[in-house]
Amino acid sequence: MKISTILTGTALLGAFIACNSDDDNESNSVKLKNHSITSVLLNAKPEFSSIKLFSLFSSEDTFAETPGYVFGGSADGSGLFKNSDGTFSFLVNNEDNYAVSKIKLDKTFKPVAGEYVLNSNGAGTRLCSASLATPEIHGFGPLFLTAGESDSESQVHGINPYDTKANNSTPRPILGFGRWCAENAVPLSKNAFAGQTIVLLGDDDSGTYGGQLVLYKSNSGDLNNGKVYVIKRTDNVTNERTMTENGTYAVEFVEITNAKTNTGLQNNQAAQAANAIAFGRVEDIDYNKTTGKEREVYFNVTGQNNTGANADNSRSKYGRVYKLVLDANNPLAGQLTLVLDGDDRAGKAKQFQNVDNICVTKNYVYLQEDSNGYGDETHDAYIYQYNIATKELKVVFELDHKRTEAGDKFLSASSAKGSWEYGALIDVSETIGIPDTFMLSIQPHTWKKDAFKGVDGGSLRPNENQGSQIVIIKGLPR
């Protein structure tokens, strides 16, 4: 997932060719440069060759202030904030470790320390995308919302961004959201609906009931006593594949009663009874950052193979991107448009191999591919740029598996196309004071070492041994 720029108290908060070897000199104290011994696992396409990439840190790096800390694998949802002393803190999910890391960066943006503020005992499930909420932007917080995803009984956790490892085994679920197989929980700007808190959740469910787009609605700042809703078409058609590219459909959100105390199964059954749209895995969500357009929401449906629960091909297989425009006077009503359809293999999104994470700026929607494992992949995972105004779709980046690198360090020589994936892409431009700058999480799934095993300190994932990487991207248009 992604995070837009935010300000809290005295701290700024913020939510990405060849690897550049020299400092990227800037006017403030932040100096963008390579701090990792790991090369950048990403290539820009020729049209975007002016973009600069820096390897910030990875699982094989040692931090000066905490030499015993090892960064876990499957880096995903993240958020960055600036501390009152000019240093920075970066919160990031280590998805398959079931953990959340907090990395301290000095005033120059050099990583100097790390710790786990939530370990596998505290999380209990995989942690996917995340959102960093603040009072100035969202009307509540600061709070790192990290979404649990293993099955429909998972929960979203709320982590104080100033937490330390002292209580990292303590679960911190947000009960008011209910239980879902959640990919993310994304609060809209407080300007979207005055006096109300609206949080959208992606239900990454590929089972009997499909994935849901879930909405939590409450009085401003209340995450416990609101109501939970799921999206449905007003004509009661539940089949996702009946919606066609550029088609717009009237939708509404219908309440799931007792969602706070229901089991996840009960919430899914209630969604089916309410004629909710059964998507093929609702993944990441974000909203337009243009002032006055915060009710324009984009979300990815990753897709699922047309077997099992999707044997009837009623859900997306290769992934789709939807735009939801909520009614200015009623967050429970709106218009849903399918803007990109990966299931149309002759259409604009014909190269889609299951889009997962999403980052929306004022002018663009950035779409990051997952690994689908269908066996028909033709490229390594892309990041696409969708121009909101012109509707043009371009490929910006492709993951670099380093398959021919001497020694096969990443164990990727025989890795399948598209088998690595991305985590969050977040815009940190205003947080660090450098325009068009992003941070990107990379999940090189074949990179496994005993030194990465069980590093979160919890007892649930003692054999998890993947590595991962965080990259800085400078010059990506917003």
Residue 27: pLDDT band (50, 70, 90) is: low
pTM for this one?
0.95
Decide if 260 contacts 175 (C-beta within 8 A). yes
Q: Which residues have CB under 8 Å from 53's CB, separation 6+?
A: 16, 17, 18, 19, 20, 40, 42, 44, 471, 472, 473, 474
Question: Across the chain, how many H-helices and E-strands are there?
Answer: 4, 27
> How far apart are the C-alpha atoms of 144 and 91, rounded to whole Å?
8
Residue 108 belongs to a domain with what CATH number?
Answer: 2.120.10.30
pLDDT digits (tens, 9 = 90+) for 380-418: 999 999 999 999 999 999 999 999 999 999 999 999 999
Number of residues that make up the chain: 478
Residue 357 tokens read as 């994470």
> How far apart are the C-alpha atoms of 178 and 166, rounded to whole Å?
27
Question: HSE (CB half, 13 Å, CA atoms) of 141?
Answer: 29
Domain that holds residue 413: 6-474
Would the pLDDT of 226 be above 80?
Answer: yes
Instruction: Of 11-15, 140-144, 291-295, 449-453, give the lowest mean pLDDT range.
Output: 11-15
Mean local confidence (pLDDT), 30-40: 98
Q: How many CB atoms lie within 10 A of CB 29?
A: 12
Residue 150: pLDDT band (50, 70, 90) is: confident
Q: Would residue 1 count as lying in a domain?
A: no
Q: What is the pLDDT of residue 28?
A: 85
User: What average pLDDT does the chain have?
Assistant: 94
Q: Would residue 175 count as lying in a domain?
A: yes
Would the pLDDT of 25 be above 50?
Answer: no
> How far apart are the C-alpha atoms of 376 and 416, rounded to whole Å?
10
Amino acid letter, residue 115: E
Residue 34 tokens read as 């390579």
DSSP per-residue codes, 409-442 = TTS-TTPPTT-SEEEEEEE-HHHHT-TTEEEEEE
Would the pLDDT of 372 be above 90?
Answer: no
Which phi and psi angles does 150 have, rounded to 5°? Answer: -145, -40
Decide if 417 contacts 70 (C-beta within 8 A). no
Q: What is the pLDDT of residue 413?
A: 97
pLDDT digits (tens, 9 = 90+) for 257-312: 999 999 999 999 999 999 999 999 999 999 999 999 999 999 999 999 999 999 99
Decide if 339 contacts 245 (C-beta within 8 A). yes
Residue 19: pLDDT band (50, 70, 90) is: very low
Q: Any bridge partners for residue 54, and if so which?
A: 472
Q: Would residue 335 count as lying in a domain?
A: yes
Share of the chain above pLDDT 70, in %: 94
pLDDT digits (tens, 9 = 90+) for 351-365: 999 999 999 999 999
Q: What is the pLDDT of residue 371?
A: 84
Of 405, 365, 286, the closest CA to residue 38 belongs to 405
Domain count, the chain: 1
Q: What is the pLDDT of residue 6?
A: 36
Residue 18: pLDDT band (50, 70, 90) is: very low
> How far apart are the C-alpha atoms of 379 and 398, rounded to whole Å?
8
Residue 84: pLDDT band (50, 70, 90) is: very high
Q: In terms of DSSP bridges, do strands 11-14 and 330-341 run parallel, antiparallel, or are they unpaired?
A: unpaired
Q: What is the pLDDT of residue 16?
A: 29
Q: Which residues have CB under 8 Å from 156's CB, separation 6+?
A: 145, 146, 147, 148, 173, 174, 177, 182, 185, 201
Would the pLDDT of 11 be above 70?
Answer: no
